[in-house]
Amino acid sequence: MVPPRNVVKIAVQMRDAIPQLIQLDQAKPLAAVLKEVCDAWSLPHSERYALQFADGHRRYITENNRTEIKNGSILCLSTAPDLEAERLLRGLQSESCEGRREALQHLVLLAPDMTFTREVISRDGLQRLGSIIEDGDDLGEVLALALRAFLELMEHGVVSWETLSIPFVRKVVCYVNMNLMDASVQPLALGLLESVTLSSPALGQLVKSEVPLDRLLVHLQVMNQQLQTKAMALLTALLQGASAAERKHMLDYLWQRNLRQFIYKVGRTRPGRPFPAPLLVAHTHTRELAVLQNIIHSAVPLGDEMAHHLYVLQALTLGLLEPRMRTPLDPYSQEQREQLQALRQAAFEPEGESLGTGLSADRRRSLCAREFRKLGFSVSDPYPAPCPCLKPGLLLFQRAGPFLSCLSPFPQNSNPAQDLERVPPGLLALDNMLYFSRHAPSAYSRFVLENSSREDKHECPFARSSIQLTVLLCELLHVGEPCSETAQDFSPMFFGQDQSFHELFCVSIQLLNKTWKEMRATQEDFDKVTQVVREQLARTLALKPSSLELFRTKVNALTYGEVLRLRQTERLHQEGTLAPPILELREKLKPELMGLIRQQRLLRLCEGTLFRKISSRRRQDKLWFCCLSPNHKVLQYGDVEEGVGPPAPESLPEQLPVADIRALLTGKDCPHVREKGSGKQNKDVCELAFSVSYDHGEEEAYLNFVAPSKREFHLWTDGLSALLGSPMGSEQTRLDLEQLLTMETKLRLLELENVPIPEQPPPVPPPPTNFNFCYDCSITEP
């Protein structure tokens, strides 16, 4: 008989007793269930007992969580939570250190349970634990257990962190700042201060003033990974609680004190040499060889918690760029105008000085505007034709504008500052361009001058590219976005060098120029190029390269062609066309489809094509026509007049039997290409040239072709290869085959739409043990 749905079969165990196998009716009150269990073991006063899960955190069973009990669950009978809390709190007041330690151990085990926590807090358990922590009589295991129990109880949120007293917080700070402290105490003290900092702004300020940053740097250098993690957690909590100005001051100080090296690199001190300043605080008692344990490249795998705190540190550091990103360029700022001029002079100073010497003010302004236009700014003619309706007195105002009123060297309508009024990226784009021009001057000059020498439509605009690239990097690195509470997506190379964002820009702007050339882009393709560069950067950042040099190598290896290949592969994976069964189907379809392509090529040869004859002087003034006979036995050809349509095959005077053809030659192997020079025109002819060698008596002769287009070249070489029984290996054949395979595969799979295709075929079942089910028709029934 099937039991009711609200009845579960469970086991209940108790120490020194035979376990009970019972059917628990979930509709029955929990007190009644406890009464039955206690009666089975002859235990009086069932209200003094409670049920707990036997595994995990041994949570107490209540009316709220009893639905978690499933068939096969194992429960245990234990003391009721109120009595257990009372017993353990009495143990905390024991004069025996061993008694307090044992009570704290049990308290730590039961603290994750909310029911037990409420009972402890209602009996002033937090105050008793706080007294143990503040007294600090035992700086070893008892203190560590008290801190752990306090943290576990507070994590439930029953009591606010803001209720903690200032003397209590200062005492915990003492444990963090104390030298030669027990290794198990300081991580717990740091964790408690982190929670205080994140939950209470007032107490967070106290922690910030009491815990020196140098002390946290000391904890980040030890070999204890847990201590490193908690020190980093408190550091990021202090940074998050600080104002923007305070955060910038703190981060500047931390980078000055080599925080990046403690995170990224391994440093050593030799015997007899002084320790770094932060290390002296904790290790003044020894001068032996010391290893400064880094975090990212540690032999121990990086934990999820540390990865999150490194992500927060990276996000907060990049967040310092947000004010510059949100601030547009001020055309009335003398400093910013000088920065723009410095950008121009870094690229054109020699040219500008030589051309500008002795010129009038108008001519110098015109030259300045032209150079800004070469830099990629959207500047126009500095002196357009004035409006005829303007009075002569207003002409100067039209030309000058606010920039001239500030003694600017360029008028309003040729003002490059207008491009930097976009927010974002604002002044951050100008910072990136200046950093690139000052720290990579040769690459900067090469970028600008190389594009200045190209045609206008093919030049890559440096300023426009820099502005868009800065926006792109801000989006990829989430500059200005709030920190996620769970994200772990930090970039190791960020901690590898100073000015990481600007260094990344220097690599990216050169990548953009390289991709621009690979795509042979024009001004109309600007958005397409930035999309490809975005994909290149995103794919490389996702690999989390450990250094900027490794990032540079990987991102430069990801060429435009490779991006296209990856896109195609991902599209095929999404469509399921790379699944093993689909690949097997495609292989089976290939012979049939290659036959269709062969048939199409031969039909095209039968239609024929007009070819031009090339004389020794490269004159292409004569035409001749060639086609394949309908029976595929003869090539028919002959000269035709200009402007006359294709002649009838039977009117062509010359014939070449296919059986006499020896081989097909292409490119430089053709005799009519070998006879010519190696000029540019000959190179173009070489790509379209093909010949067939045939027997002419006892000698070998050639019929030479120069195709009118690349497509005709592929069609004819494929068709002639098919006639000779050779494989058709042109690029056009590959494209046609892929297109036909894709179409035919989709048609075959129409009936399987939304049906998952397994990676492997289902297993064939084994044969039956006997074949008695077969019916023998030769036996006649009586």
Greatest CA span in the chain, whole angstroms?
129
What is the structure's pLDDT at 469?
A: 95
Give the residue among 663, 661, 683 at the shortest CA–CA distance from 673: 683
pLDDT at 151 over 50: yes
Q: Parallel, antiparallel, or unpaired for β 74-79 and 7-13?
A: parallel
What helix, strand, coil percent values describe the chain, rounded to 5? 55, 10, 35
Give the pLDDT of residue 380: 57
Q: What is the pLDDT of residue 414?
A: 55
DSSP strand pairing (20-25 vs 654-657)? unpaired
Contacts made by residues 545-551, CB under 8 angstroms, sequence distance 24+: 545/491, 545/492, 545/493, 546/296, 546/297, 546/492, 546/493, 546/496, 547/492, 547/493, 547/496, 548/493, 548/496, 548/497, 548/500, 548/503, 548/504, 548/507, 550/493, 551/493, 551/504, 551/507
Two tokens at 334? 């003398």
The winner for highest mean pLDDT among 136-145, 174-183, 594-603, 675-684 is 594-603
pLDDT grade for 387, boundaries at 50, 70 and 90: very low
Distances (CA, A) of 463 to 35, 167, 230, 343, 433: 81, 57, 44, 10, 8
For 658-671, the pLDDT digits (tens) are 998 999 999 888 88
**Distance of CA 406 to CAs 91, 141, 342, 401, 403, Å?**
80, 71, 18, 9, 5
pLDDT of residue 745: 86
Gap between the Cα atoms of 451 and 515, Å rounded: 13
21 vs 96, more confident: 21
Q: What is the mean pLDDT of residues 166-184?
A: 87
The predicted pLDDT at position 775 comes to 65
Place of tokens 């029953």: 158
Q: Which two tokens stand for residue 453?
A: 């020498």
Beta carbons within 10 angstroms of residue 12's beta carbon: 23
Is residue 59 pLDDT above 60, yes or no?
yes
Higher pLDDT, 505 or 480: 505
Rounded to an integer, the average pLDDT of 768-780 is: 70
Give the DSSP H/E element, type plus range, for residue 26.
none
Strand ranges, E, within 255-366: 267-269, 290-292
Most confident of 27-36, 645-654, 747-756: 27-36
- Average pLDDT in the 607-636 region? 81
The answer to whether residue 267 scores a pLDDT higher than 60 is: no
Q: How many CB atoms lie within 10 A of CB 688?
A: 18
Contact 351, 445 (CB under 8 A): no
Pairwise CA distance, residues 748 & 242, whole Å = 63
Q: According to the model, what pLDDT value does residue 454 have?
A: 77
- Written as six digits, the tokens of 378 are 């959207």
Q: What three-state secondary structure class fits 625? A: strand
pLDDT at 177 over 70: yes
Q: Provide the pLDDT for residue 281.
A: 38
Q: Average pLDDT of 639-663? A: 86
Residues in the chain: 782
CA pair distance 770, 750, nearest whole angstrom: 40
Whole-structure pTM value: 0.70
289-298, 340-349, 478-487: which has the minimum mean pLDDT? 289-298
Task: In whole angstroms, give the CA distance from residue 603 to residue 722.
Answer: 12
Q: Find all residues with CB under 8 Å of 42, minimum gap 6, and list them.
A: none
Positions of E strands within 633-760: 634-640, 654-657, 661-666, 689-696, 699-706
Average pLDDT rounded to a whole number, residues 207-228: 90
Cα angle for residues 179, 184, 190 (degrees, 5° grid): 70
pLDDT band at 129 (very low <50, low <70, confident <90, very high): very high
pLDDT tops 50 at residue 103: yes
Taking 60 as the threshold, does the pLDDT of residue 354 lie above it?
A: no
Domains in the chain with CATH codes: 7-79 (3.10.20.90), 82-265+292-314 (1.25.10.10), 334-348+366-378+412-569 (no CATH), 589-740 (2.30.29.30)
pLDDT band at 601 (very low <50, low <70, confident <90, very high): very high
Maximum average pLDDT range among 130-139, 296-305, 499-508, 667-676 = 499-508
Cα end-to-end span (Å), the chain? 47
Quickly count: other Cβ atoms within 10 Å of residue 595's Cβ: 11
Per-residue confidence (pLDDT) for residue 621, from 0 to 100: 60
- Note the helical H segments in 486-525: 500-519
What pLDDT does residue 43 have? 92
Segment (H or E) for 413: none
Maximum average pLDDT range among 3-12, 354-363, 511-520? 511-520
Q: What are phi and psi of 712, to 5 degrees?
A: -60, -35
pLDDT-based confidence at residue 742 (cuts at 50, 70, 90): confident
In the predicted structure, residue 613 carries a pLDDT above the cut 90: no
Neighbour order of strands in the sheet with 609-613: 609-613, 622-628, 634-640, 654-657
**Residue owning tokens 């002087």:** 617
Q: Closest Cα partner for 114 from 145, 74, 159, 176?
A: 159
Higher pLDDT, 444 or 291: 444
Is 393 a residue whose pLDDT tops 60? no
Q: Considering only CA atoms, which of 117, 149, 114, 111 is closest in space to residue 130?
A: 149
What mean pLDDT value characterizes the chain? 83
pLDDT (average), residues 440-466: 87
Which of these, 281, 311, 283, lies nearest to 296 by C-alpha position? 311
Label residue 22 left, alpha or beta by phi (over 0 means left) and psi (-120 to 50 means alpha): beta
Q: Which helix (H) or strand (E) holds 15?
A: none
- % of the chain exceeding 70 in pLDDT: 85
**Across residues 730-741, what is the average pLDDT?**
92
The closest of 131, 129, 158, 157 to 145, measured between CA atoms, is: 129
Residue 92 amino acid letter:
L
Residue 703, SS3 per DSSP: strand
Q: Are strands 49-53 and 20-25 parallel, antiparallel or unpaired?
A: unpaired
The two structure tokens encoding residue 79: 């003391």
Burial bucket for residue 328 (CB in 10 Å: 0-12, 13-18, 19+):
middle
Tell me: pLDDT of 346 over 90.
Answer: no
